[in-house]
Amino acid sequence: MKLMLNLKLELKRNLLIAAVAIALAAVLAVVFTSYSSDDEGDDISDDIVQGIAPSPGNSELVVGPNRFAFGLADENNEPIHEAPGVSVTLRFYIGDELKLKEEAGFTWAIPDVTGFFVVNADFDSPGQWRAEADVVRDGDTEMVAFTFPVLERGSAPSVGNPAPPSLNRTLASEPNIARISTDEDPDRSYYELTVAEALENDRALVVIFATPAFCATRFCGPIVDTIKEVSPAYADRVDFIHIEPFELDDEGKLLTEDLPSGGQNRIPTVPVLEWGLQTEPWVFIVDGDGIIASRFEGAASADEIRRAIDDVLG
């Protein structure tokens, strides 16, 4: 039985490695056009200019509730941030049908360096969707249009799904905290429970998948710091668990495996495989019934996390 489980996890891990490359290729294949409010004519295909460029903040979007995140860069490739005189309104279409119009909020991914505009969107069908963003800066409006896929079902657990009851390492099973956390100043309470144990508590739960020391996006450290800022106010009502997405050695260094091509690959931890995560960081808010109520990929603000927790606490 143990051999069979190991073989299944090995197969799932290899499939995950391949899926990461596919997902990243799909994310980066965003098609966009940009034109200003001064352009004339109704056919935007003739009005493409070197203006604002979007960058996606999601590795997957699915039918149902989503936190749609995207970055914006100006004509000089400088990031556009929340600032006086700046606003972004988003319209979502499938075909020619307008499905949703919403003003975007903003959250810092790395404080005072880079961040994402965010809209909570409920997509009602799979397929190729189109977004149009009206970007207002100091009274001038420029529109950016881009397309993106919405999946019937994603790899990561969606809102409304049960949280997988993972048996992540804890300080009880692994006293060497270097093997279970790369946080420079870890909150030891985040390593006391497995997800399976927390789900038995009938309490709200926050699960953070992040590797502050080895994050590919540089967002892991900031999101762990954000959770540590938020968690003290909820410690008596909510369990918090931090899980490293990659295997670590006794000194907290990444364990790797040789690839047939001659390179090396980071080894995902079992909970990452069980949760089907293709990127990091992720934060999941789970209600007292063990159902995922909110999920955040990449950056999230303290206010967003607080609102999500407050929603499940009622």
Cα radius of gyration (the chain): 21
Kindly report, residue by residue over 134-193, the tens digit of the pLDDT: 999 999 999 999 999 999 999 999 999 999 999 999 999 999 999 999 999 999 999 999
For residue 127, pLDDT beyond 90: yes
What average pLDDT does range 61-77 have in this prediction? 95
Cβ neighbour number for residue 62 with a 10 Å cutoff:
19
Residue bearing the bigger pLDDT, 217 or 282: 282
What average pLDDT does range 302-314 have in this prediction? 97
For residue 293, pLDDT beyond 70: yes
Mean pLDDT of the chain: 87
Q: Could you tell me the residue ranges of all domains in the chain? A: 31-150, 177-313
Nearest Cα neighbor of 210 from 167, 149, 168 is 168
What average pLDDT does range 231-243 have in this prediction? 98
pLDDT at 50: 57
The residue whose two tokens read 């309470």 is 189
Round to whole Å and give the CA distance between 105 and 160.
Answer: 24
Judge whether 158 and 292 are in contact, CB under 8 Å.
Answer: yes
Round to whole Å and give the CA distance between 243 and 248.
Answer: 12
Domain 31-150 matches domain 177-313 at the CATH topology level: no
For residue 94, pLDDT beyond 80: yes
Q: What are phi and psi of 296, to 5 degrees?
A: -130, 120
pLDDT at 78: 92
pTM of the shown model: 0.84
For residue 107, pLDDT beyond 80: yes
pLDDT at 114: 87
- CATH of 31-150 given 3.40.50.1980, 3.40.50.970, 3.90.25.10, 2.60.40.10: 2.60.40.10
Tell me the fold of 177-313: Glutaredoxin (3.40.30)
Amino acid letter, 270:
V
Judge whether 57 and 297 are in contact, CB under 8 Å.
Answer: yes
Nearest Cα neighbor of 247 from 233, 237, 257, 239 is 257
Kindly report, residue by residue over 12-28, the tens digit of the pLDDT: 444 333 333 333 333 33
Nearest Cα neighbor of 70 from 93, 88, 54 is 54
User: Residues of the chain with pLDDT > 70: what percent?
Assistant: 84
